[in-house]
């Protein structure tokens, strides 16, 4: 594997203060699957963008369970090459008694995060599970070890895990505990344990929504579905416009570079205008650098990736609504089956009343009558079970509604905050860029004034004496 992106540099891991008791495997020579870890080489990926000083204070506002995802590291195996991320966890063991230590440090790869999310969906099908970054496409596979790709994935994995541990229900899941604390061999056993009964139940619920439709749709959740569709369309359109603006900025950047070169070359052939032309070239160069640093380089991290993440979040909302619909369909099917059996019993009872009048008819239909009685008896025993099942499904649907309703409220609050920060970041970047542009051109003004004064003095010196006398007269 040659090339600059073939090996990633791994900084020495920063130690968690107060003396962690847990083993930090990020500096080990082998991964949890026994593959050789790449040697430190080219670029550093050790810190999370904008979170270099993240600390685990565990005060009242910080929560009793905090995580940090950082320090990506590339692993070379005989069959595959992959990247793992270090996960540092700090716990308040007084409130989280299931945790034996106050600090943990483990390494997990992307597929491990996928396993965790699937386990959360299996355990809490009617909750809104935060999204993960999507898998790389086949086209982007050659670049999946680049710095930009790894840092973008790292940031999204950090936000995913932070949202999970901040959730009042998801954070107590046993699979999350294993994910945050288990040593490599123990974690592999949990991963290979396969899909349990909860997973099969979740799959059956999801299949219901494929084969059946909810008859009596809830207006509340229908409005949420419409909102999610509208938000997804707006974010998609915003992403398209942003990419188009980015291409236009890149094209404009190239034109500015040509513009700056033209002024520089022009200055070599115009000694009198040289200071002014070089001042213009310098201003254009500063504008170009400002646009590159303020707008172009930060586009992916501050605009494109957050929008993609919220598009994934919209998909997660739709998935949660679909799983909630599956619970309602299960309830409606149970009610349908109950009504069917009740109607069947009622018809048999009515048939018994009409055929019991004539003795000859009774004697003639004696065996069918016995079969009918047996069937009525079976239905009498079955209907109470169906009633209990329908009531249980109704309770399950009400719990699903409450779970999803509370998660959606939390999501709306978080969404407003995140989108507000996104827009403020865009505004601040534009303000910074235009301030840099204004400052660059303000630095040209003295040269322009000096050139004007020089041109005026030269013109005055070149005026003929007779003309000057006539003018004075």
Q: What is the pLDDT of residue 302?
A: 87
Cα–Cα dist 356/351, whole Å = 9
The confidence band for 130, taking pLDDT boundaries of 50, 70 and 90, is very high
| 10 has a pLDDT exceeding 50 | no
Q: Which burial class, exposed, middle or buried, applies to 436 when counting CB atoms under 10 A from its CB (0-12, 13-18, 19+)?
A: middle
Q: What is the pLDDT of residue 125?
A: 93
Q: What is the pLDDT of residue 61?
A: 56
Higher pLDDT, 218 or 175: 175
Cα–Cα dist 56/66, whole Å = 7
> Nearest 5 degrees, angle CA 117-CA 48-CA 65?
50
User: Contact at 8 Å (CB) between 371 and 379?
Assistant: no
Q: What is the pLDDT of residue 461?
A: 58
Counting Cα atoms < 13 Å in the Cβ hemisphere of 16 gives 25
Confirm whether pTM is higher than 0.85. no
Q: Which tokens sit at 388?
A: 């209990």
Q: Averaged over 440-466, what is the pLDDT?
A: 71
Cα–Cα dist 348/196, whole Å = 42
Q: What is the pLDDT of residue 246?
A: 93
Question: Can you say how many angstroms the Cα of residue 342 is from the centroid of all Cα atoms in its chain?
Answer: 49
| 285 has a pLDDT exceeding 80 | yes
The confidence band for 464, taking pLDDT boundaries of 50, 70 and 90, is low
Q: Averaged over 229-249, what is the pLDDT?
A: 94
Find where tokens 């004064």 sit. Answer: 453
DSSP classification of residue 134:
P
Q: What is the pLDDT of residue 370?
A: 79
User: Contact at 8 Å (CB) between 96 and 81?
Assistant: no
Distances in Å between the alpha carbon of 242 and those of 237, 313, 423?
Answer: 9, 19, 13
| 176 has a pLDDT exceeding 60 | yes
Q: Is the dihedral of CA 336, 340, 346, 349 positive or negative?
A: negative
Per-chain mean pLDDT for the chain = 80
DSSP classification of residue 215:
S
Which fold is adopted by the domain 214-350+373-451?
Answer: Substrate Binding Domain Of Dnak; Chain:A; Domain 2 (1.20.1270)
User: Contact at 8 Å (CB) between 248 and 369?
Assistant: no
Dump pLDDT digits (tens) for 346-367.
Answer: 888 887 655 554 444 444 445 6
| 163 has a pLDDT exceeding 60 | yes
Q: What is the pLDDT of residue 459?
A: 53
| 35 has a pLDDT exceeding 70 | no
Q: What is the pLDDT of residue 144?
A: 75
The confidence band for 247, taking pLDDT boundaries of 50, 70 and 90, is very high
Dump pLDDT digits (tens) for 187-206.
Answer: 988 888 765 555 555 556 55
Phi, psi of 431 (to 5 degrees): -60, -45
Percentage of the chain beyond pLDDT 70 is 74
Q: What is the pLDDT of residue 221?
A: 92
User: Contact at 8 Å (CB) between 298 and 429?
Assistant: yes
Burial 219-236 (b: 16+ CB within 10 A, else e): eebeebbeebeebbeebe
Dump pLDDT digits (tens) for 51-76.
Answer: 444 455 545 456 789 999 999 999 88
Q: Averaged over 260-272, what is the pLDDT?
A: 91
Q: Where are the domains of the chain?
A: 39-194, 214-350+373-451
Q: Averaged over 222-238, what is the pLDDT?
A: 94
Q: Which residues, including other chains, have CB under 8 Å from residue 68's CB and lie 6 or more apart?
A: 48, 51, 54, 56, 87, 88, 89, 158
Q: For residue 439, count other CB atoms closer than 10 A to its CB.
A: 13
| 28 has a pLDDT exceeding 70 | no
| 284 has a pLDDT exceeding 60 | yes
Q: Averaged over 127-153, what is the pLDDT?
A: 78
The confidence band for 37, taking pLDDT boundaries of 50, 70 and 90, is very low
Find where tokens 């099942």 sit. Answer: 389
Higher pLDDT, 318 or 6: 318
Q: Averaged over 257-275, what is the pLDDT?
A: 91
- Superfamily of chain region 39-194: Phox-like domain (3.30.1520.10)
The confidence band for 9, taking pLDDT boundaries of 50, 70 and 90, is very low
For residue 57, which of 70, 45, 66 has the smallest C-alpha distance?
66
| 43 has a pLDDT exceeding 70 | no
Percentage of the chain beyond pLDDT 90 is 52
Dump pLDDT digits (tens) for 307-345.
Answer: 989 999 999 999 999 999 999 998 999 999 999 999 988
Q: Is the dihedral of CA 257, 261, 264, 267 positive or negative?
A: negative
Element at 145 (helix H, strand E): none
């Amino acid at each position: 594997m040659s090339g600059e992106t073939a090996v990633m540099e791994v900084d020495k891991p920063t130690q968690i203060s107060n003396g962690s008791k847990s083993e930090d495997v990020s500096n080990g020579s082998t991964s949890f699957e026994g593959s050789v870890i790449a040697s430190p080489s080219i670029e550093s990926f050790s810190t999370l963008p904008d979170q270099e000083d993240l600390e685990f204070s565990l005060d009242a506002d910080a929560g009793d369970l905090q995580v940090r995802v950082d320090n990506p590291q590339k692993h070379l195996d005989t069959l595959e090459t992959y990247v793992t991320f270090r996960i540092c966890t700090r716990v308040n063991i007084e409130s989280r008694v299931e945790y034996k230590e106050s600090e943990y440090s483990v390494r997990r790869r992307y597929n491990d995060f996928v396993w965790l999310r699937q386990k959360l969906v299996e355990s809490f099908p009617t909750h809104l599970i935060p999204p993960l970054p999507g898998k790389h496409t086949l086209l982007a596979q050659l670049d999946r070890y680049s710095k930009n790709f790894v840092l973008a994935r790292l940031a999204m994995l950090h936000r995913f895990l932070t949202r999970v541990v901040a959730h009042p229900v998801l954070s107590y899941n046993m699979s999350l505990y294993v994910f945050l604390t288990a040593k490599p061999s123990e974690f592999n056993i949990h991963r290979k344990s396969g899909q349990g009964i909860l997973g099969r139940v979740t799959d059956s619920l999801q299949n219901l929504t494929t084969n059946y439709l909810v008859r009596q749709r809830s207006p509340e959740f229908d409005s949420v579905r419409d909102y999610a569709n509208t938000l997804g369309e707006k974010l998609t359109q915003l992403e398209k416009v942003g990419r188009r603006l980015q291409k236009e900025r890149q094209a404009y950047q190239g034109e500015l570079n040509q513009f700056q070169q033209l002024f520089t070359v022009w200055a070599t052939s115009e000694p009198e205008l040289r200071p002014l032309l070089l001042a213009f070239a310098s201003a254009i160069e500063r504008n170009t650098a400002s646009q590159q640093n303020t707008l172009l380089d930060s586009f992916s991290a501050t605009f494109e990736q957050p929008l993609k993440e919220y598009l994934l979040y919209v998909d997660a909302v739709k998935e949660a609504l679909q799983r909630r619909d599956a619970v309602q369909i299960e309830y409606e099917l149970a009610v349908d089956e109950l009504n069917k059996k009740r109607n069947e019993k009622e018809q048999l009872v009515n048939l018994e009343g009409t055929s019991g009048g004539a003795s000859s008819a009774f004697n003639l239909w004696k065996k069918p009558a016995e079969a009918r009685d047996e069937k009525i008896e079976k239905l009498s025993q079955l209907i109470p079970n169906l009633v209990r099942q329908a009531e249980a499904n109704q309770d399950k649907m009400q719990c699903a509604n409450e779970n999803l309703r509370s998660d959606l409220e939390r999501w709306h609050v978080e969404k407003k905050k995140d989108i507000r920060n996104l827009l403020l970041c865009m505004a601040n970047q534009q303000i910074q860029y235009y301030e840099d542009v204004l400052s660059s051109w303000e630095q040209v003004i003295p040269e322009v004034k000096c050139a004007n004064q020089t041109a005026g003095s030269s013109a005055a010196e070149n005026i003929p004496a007779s003309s000057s006398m006539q003018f004075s007269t």
